Amino acid sequence: MNPRVLLLCSTLLLTACAPTIGNKQDVRTTSFFVGETTKQEVADVLGLPADISKSEALGLEYWAYREKAKLTGIMVPVVTGPASAQMDSISTGDTGEYQFKDAAAIYVFDKSEKLIDVRYPN
């Protein structure tokens, strides 16, 4: 099989399996069970958060979600030879700077990866 076709097919397959970054659902109307819901379940329902912060001292992890998902750039595979490729990025020009104070919702997880709190700062 042609290496370029193989590379293109494998890239498409991998991107199809990748988790969504940003909100799949409205964070203000989605509910989870505190003490029962896991990080994986939140990611499955909402997608990956805009930002993650950890407090090693408290043993907590904070996932912050924006009101809406925001695309700041994408990575594109570029075939550079018969059996090789490189990744180039395309940017929207947005720096993507994000602060927790801008979050629509913050999900707090403990060391066992269980949801222990949900905060709505705005």
pLDDT tens track for 71-89: 544 555 666 666 655 555 4
pTM of the predicted model over 0.75: no
| Mean pLDDT over the full length of the chain | 73
DSSP string covering 36-83: T-BHHHHHHHH-B-SEEEEETTTTEEEEEE-SS----EEEEEEE-SSS
* 22 or 26, greater pLDDT: 26
98 confidence band (pLDDT: 50, 70, 90): very low
Q: What is the pLDDT of residue 118?
A: 93
Q: Which helix (H) or strand (E) holds 17?
A: helix 3-17
> What distance in Å separates the CA atoms of residue 38 and residue 45, rounded to the nearest whole number?
11
Q: What is the pLDDT of residue 95?
A: 43
10 confidence band (pLDDT: 50, 70, 90): low
Q: Which residues contact 97 (CB under 8 A, 6 or more apart)?
A: none
Domain boundaries along the sequence of the chain: 3-119
**CA of 41: how far to CAs of 7, 116, 118, in Å?**
32, 13, 14
Give the chain's largest Cα–Cα span: 54
Q: What percent of the chain has pLDDT over 90?
A: 28
Contact between residue 63 and residue 52 where contact means Cβ atoms under 8 Å apart: yes
Q: What is the pLDDT of residue 5?
A: 56
